[in-house]
Structure 1
């Protein structure tokens, strides 16, 4: 089956919702329908900083990627931050994750951004197998400060 990547559209709502809920469950993040409503609104409003792509096998949505621009003051440049990347378990190994990352890279290149950056869980071995082939792991440690 042919694999395509395109921007998320309002008509993708039901399929996206299922994938995004599965993504939250994968990482053990409690997420409500209201939270998904908010995020999908961001993805379909041109004025919001978060953008989204989806991967389709035929007409079935099998993967999602959400990204946004971030400033890199030290280098006086910008990059894209890949916030969320998820492929349905039954579509893993299809090339969907790589195709989504390639599409985000193309958006970055076309927008004049110097890097695509993301984080993943240390124990996300399957995804890291791909990431280690296509990107460079950094030495940076991430912290969260609750507000």
Structure 2
């Protein structure tokens, strides 16, 4: 496999991003209206909202990460939520996932209004992703609840 590089999402990435986004949603058994996908992509390109990086290999987009900064009641500085991370099944094990997370870490460290704290969630059954997360992050004791 060619070297993996990370860069900011660009408008020209839309066709490749959309294929990976559909695979990501299928994994999490989510079905979003096309208008939501359109809006999310636009939001990822706007300054001050969500942000995104893509992983590239051989001139192709092989994955993405979406993240955002938000206020916290536990800090006077913003914290960073890594909301979505996806690497194509054929590119897993290439280091792309790690590089995407590290790009978010770097963005959090460079953001002047942020604390540097980065956090994310995954399903308890997503064992493959947890192999990476256990090496690059620390599992917290928190249990996440969602509205019924």
TM-score range, shorter chain: over 0.9
Q: What is the rounded CA distance, in whole Å, between the counterparts of 2:66 and 2:60 in structure 1?
A: 18
Shift of 1:28: 0.5
Q: Distance in 2 between matches of 1:71 and 1:136?
A: 21
Q: What corresponds to 1:121 in structure 2?
A: 123
Does the residue aligned with 2:98 lie in a helix, a strand or coil?
Answer: helix
CA distance in 1, matches of 2:5, 2:80: 21
Q: Give the total of aligned pairs.
A: 145
Q: What are structure 2's unaligned runs of at least 5 residues?
A: none
Contact 1:15–1:61 (8 Å) recurs in 2: yes
For normalisation by structure 1, the TM-score amounts to 0.94
Which residue among 130, 135, 138 is the counterpart of 1:136?
138
Aligned to 2:86: 86
What is the CA–CA distance in structure 2 between the aligned matches of 1:74 and 1:104, rounded to whole Å?
Answer: 21
| TM superposition score normalised by structure 2 | 0.93
Corresponding residue number in structure 2 for 1:7: 8
2: CA distance between counterparts of 1:108 and 1:53? 13
Q: Which residue of 1 aligns with 2:25?
A: 24
| Structure 1 residues not aligned, in runs of 5+ | none
Residue 74 of structure 2 aligns to a residue whose secondary structure is helix
The CA RMSD over aligned residues, in Å, is 1.2
In structure 1, what is the equivalent of residue 58 of structure 2? Answer: 58
